[in-house]
A and B are shown apart, each in its own frame.
Chain A
Amino acid sequence: MLIKRPPSYHKLFFFRGMLLGMTVTLKHFILNLLRIRKIPTIQYPEKKRERSARFKGKHILTKKLDGSIRCTSCLLCQTACPARCIKITPSEHPDPKVEKFPISFQIDLLRCVMCGYCEEACPVDAIRMGQEYEWADYSESSFIMDKEYLSNRPALQGGVISKVNS
């Protein structure tokens, strides 16, 4: 069967369709270039999106007014943790009014699933999920955060005071 094809010079006019399609792109290009409307894209490393207060980032251990760690090492966060990433070693505090405090407090960030249960379980607002989320590193061991890092890392700028101070 003979199929009737369009004349070959028609091929020269495919640019027309192409340009037609390109107008959409062109429109957006011009609009964005001239900043005529707001762009949702953020220039990530230079600019960072504002996170909500409920954002679950890297954990923080809060402090008492005197600067010591708020955690009473009740182990409720460790109990609530579904990933078993928290390891606390309680110890006797020399001050009988404090009685119990964590001599070591470790969170394994690689195990953590950022569920925030620890924050929920804490009766004294001692552990919070912070705002930091950039924690790429070279070795696994550097993902185990200790007490000092959790409460006093530079990003915390001197630490966070717990809301429960009795």
Chain B
Amino acid sequence: MNGKVVNKRKRTFLCITIPVVILFFMFNTYPLIRGFIYSFTNFRGYGSYDWVGLRNYADLFTDSRVGGSYWFTVKYAFVCTILTNVISLILALGLNSKIKAKGALRGIYFIPNVLGSLVVAYIFSFLFTYIIPAVGKSLGIGFLSSSILASTKTAWLGIVVVGAWQSIAQNTIIYISGLQTVPEEVYEAGSIDGATGWKSFRNLTFPLIIPFVTTNTVLCMKNFLMVFDQIMALTKGGPSQSTESISFLIYNNGMGGGQFGFQSANAFVFFVVIVAFSVAQMKFMNSKEEQL
């Protein structure tokens, strides 16, 4: 390309990029900065406010409700990520093997992914509140005979079930595309060396799909840490705040509870936590990949 054309091309690119960057700045970076500034104030969401320096951040560490929401969210995200990935991987292995009606089965197992999580959680709420206790009673199983959502000890498990039920669909599809990247020859060579079944999976398949394990766990962790819809539909943070996720607490107390400033500080710490989790996971998984 000659110089004149190149210059015109560059100008066109600039004319496209500048408005896009401005748009992104206005609705992503600017509110981020504003939230950061509010986090140093005692703003209630309306009226006047004062600067309070780092007090909001200091208070975060002593606020038992914030502490409780972190404990619940991290516990939930960990358990849900592990549960989802183990089941997805097993399902993917099954759906990728030589089975009948492969297309239909894959289609069915993917259904939960397209359904709205709020409505799904409402449906499960009925299941937990009425169906399972009724079954539990008739079978005489003690801990199932009342709603698991009503107890502070078990309510979070209900949210785990709903979260996993939906996420398994997407993770399975990603694992299937991972399994398809493993060439058939690897198994053939392996079976000559006597690697079959679990051994073949452990030593041949799993190492080759580690990049997909990374993608799935990082995506899962990030999504589960931001859990909101399920909480809204299943428990509204209860019973006695035992299932308050960080997002839910920020929404609830920041928007309606007059804690705009304080919850802004909470949101900022939450942001750092999400970035830290994602980076740490990718580092950990990358080091695993290198070992192989």
Pair from one complex: no
Contact residues of A with B, CB < 8 Å? none
